[in-house]
Chains A and B, each alone.
Chain A
Amino acid sequence: MRQVLAVFKREFAAYFATPLAYVFIVIFLFAMGAFTFYVGRFYDNGIADLSVFFGYHPWLYLFLVPAIGMRLWADERRTGTVELLLTLPIPVWATVLGKFLAAWAFTAVALVLTFPIWITVNVLGQPDNGVILASYIGSLLMAGGYLAISAAISASTDNQVIAFVVSVAVCFLFTISGAALVIDFFQLWAPVILVNTISSFSFLTHFQAITSGVIDLRDLIYFASLIALFLAFNVVLIDLKKMS
């Protein structure tokens, strides 16, 4: 566990040692604001809640989270530091976990910095702050899901652009797997149980369930097990690379 912490500390500090963190946070906040206020017409709705704001999270994460995840392993392979990291006496799972947690904590920082919108909505009216808190938790869990997928994909290549593009594509499928576009394709031939399983993989479905204000254990388990699954993939991919 101490090694997880050492990797976590190094990784987390690395975000702020380069302009990456600042650029990311500024763009994240700017995009959140732009979508909420201009595209989502936050004021015109006349309702004191943040459903518009949270509604855009999946779509922003779809591009911004793979941008964080793509460097996790691909960059280490490019610079050769992966050889150093994997020859230190740290179990692979601890390295994978430390890196993931650092990136997740970083997205949490970005998410927390959206707090002015929470203040705004509280000044303007009397929103249900319980729902808002649930939504923030849901948003963070969803970001973790996107991140775990991106990290695993990053582990399979030394090219950050490939890591990014593939991650966006896979994340996109997970986002919309409940939507007609995907379901119609499977409904033609797949058994109902498979169709239902696929549609239950949708980030949107689970996220919307949480943002409606109900933190259902099933939604939490969904995101937690998705993260665990992709972290396990990540470990396997690292081990496979050693053998190639």
Chain B
Amino acid sequence: MIEIEGLTKNFGRVAAVSGIDLRVHKGEVLGFLGPNGAGKSTTMKMIAGYLTPSAGRVSICGHDVENDTIAAQSMLGYLPEGAPAYGDMTPKQFLKFIAEVRGFRGVEAKVRAAAAAAKAELEPVLEQPIDTLSKGFKRRVGLAQAILHDPPTLVMDEPTDGLDPNQKHSVRKLIQAMAKEKAIIISTHLLEEVDAVCTRAVIIDRGRIVADGTPASLLARSRHHNAVTLTLPAGFAPAAKAKLQALPGVLSVDDISQTDGVATITAFPRASTLIIEDVSALASREQWDVKELYAEAGRLDDVFRALTTHDTQRARERRAGGAA
């Protein structure tokens, strides 16, 4: 549905995106992750036809974005970064404008606008100028605009940015409800969002893809994958640490916290060995009086931090590159 080949964008001497290849199919929700400035928004702008690539191509449902722009854009719903909308219009007027531009006429334009507003839960503010709306409603106006024509593909740049937890939940529910019928790309900083809605996660750094897989397969790359955390009386902690360290599957043991005489320690496994059974057997054999014991699936922020570079480092490298 969305095919991206060798997509590259240079701004002057800076390469914002360098050679991205992606195929997103119907039924997939692709979470696009990466630090600020990694090239997420630039990539999305090229998919939507707002920026022309320096090299490479994008096609949407078989229509090349550069050469067959209008056909490609009519197959795509796009929520730009920051969800821009005409502030002097009300959501009702704005959605009607979008419907007319998208080729719907008269009654159908009205029906489409109303349906999109209903899906994005905009009814209470339909008659208020967009400029006067809260951040959450503004974002949902952008969402309604993107889904108004029920497009087969959707690209949304940070759809839940600035929303409160309730609003995030309803936007995610909306995305999940549409997921089966569409190819969707969303960018986000929120790693929990990937868990919540995405069937596939792609991490980009410095304009390149550094990881691409299901959320579970990315979690498996985390240090915390299959790690076991125990909470037990502080008195047992030193002995427990030594015994855990001696288990064959355990790579290392870390102190996590120690408060009110209760200690929390985590045992990290060697190369994704399953150690939970060994650890729990050990704990009951030694009678450590364990209050809590659980294994983790992994943490995306581990993976994210390991794969991407810090912005200060990037800026330093860029400056050094510019001076050379």
Chain A residues with CB under 8 Å of chain B are: 2-3, 5-7, 9-10, 13-14, 17-18, 79-81, 83-84, 86-91, 239, 242-244
Contact = CB atoms under 8 A, between A and B. Distances in A.
Nearest to B71: A89
A169 B85 CA distance: 32
Interface string B46-68: 00111110000000000000000
B70 A91 contact: yes
A242 B52 contact: yes
B101 A3 contact: yes
B84 to A, nearest CB: 4
Contacts of A18: 88
A90 B78 contact: no
B288 interface: no
A81 to B, nearest CB: 5
Contacts of B129: 17
Contacts of A244: 11
B73 A87 contact: yes
Given A6-B101, A7-B101, A89-B74, A84 B85 contact: yes
Nearest to A81: B84
Nearest to A5: B100
B298 interface: no
Contacts of B145: 84
Given A87-B50, A87-B73, A91-B70, A80 B84 contact: yes
Nearest to B105: A2
B79 to A, nearest CB: 9
12 contacts: A2-B100, A5-B100, A6-B97, A9-B97, A10-B86, A80-B81, A81-B85, A83-B81, A88-B102, A242-B50, A242-B52, A244-B11
Contact of B52 (A10, A87, A243): A243
Contacts of B85: 81, 84
B7 to A, nearest CB: 14
B98 interface: yes
A10 B90 CA distance: 12
Interface string B80-118: 111011111100010001101111010000000000000
A87 B80 contact: yes
Interface residues of B, number: 33
A88 B101 contact: yes
Nearest to B97: A10
B182 interface: no
Contacts of B103: 2, 89
Contacts of B71: 89
Contacts of A239: 52
Interface centre among A2, A6, A79 (most CB of B within 10 A): A6
A241 to B, nearest CB: 9
Interface centre among A13, A79, A80, A242 (most CB of B within 10 A): A242
Nearest to B155: A87
Given A86-B50, A242-B51, A79 B101 contact: no
A71 to B, nearest CB: 12
B140 interface: no
B225 interface: no
Contacts of A91: 70
A87 B48 contact: yes
B20 to A, nearest CB: 18
A17 B84 contact: no
A86 B49 contact: yes
A209 B89 CA distance: 42
A80 B130 CA distance: 14
A87 B78 CA distance: 7
B101 A17 contact: no
Contacts of A86: 49-50
B45 interface: yes
A168 to B, nearest CB: 26
The 9 closest A-B pairs by CB, nearest first: A80-B84, A89-B74, A17-B88, A6-B100, A89-B73, A87-B48, A83-B80, A243-B52, A81-B84
B84 A89 contact: no
Contacts of B48: 83, 87
Contact of B50 (A9, A10, A83, A90): A83
B49 A14 contact: no
A3 B87 CA distance: 20
A10 B86 CA distance: 10
Nearest to A83: B80
Contact of A14 (B76, B81, B86, B100): B86
Nearest to B73: A89
B117 to A, nearest CB: 17
A238 to B, nearest CB: 11
B101 A80 contact: no
B30 to A, nearest CB: 19
A89 B101 contact: yes
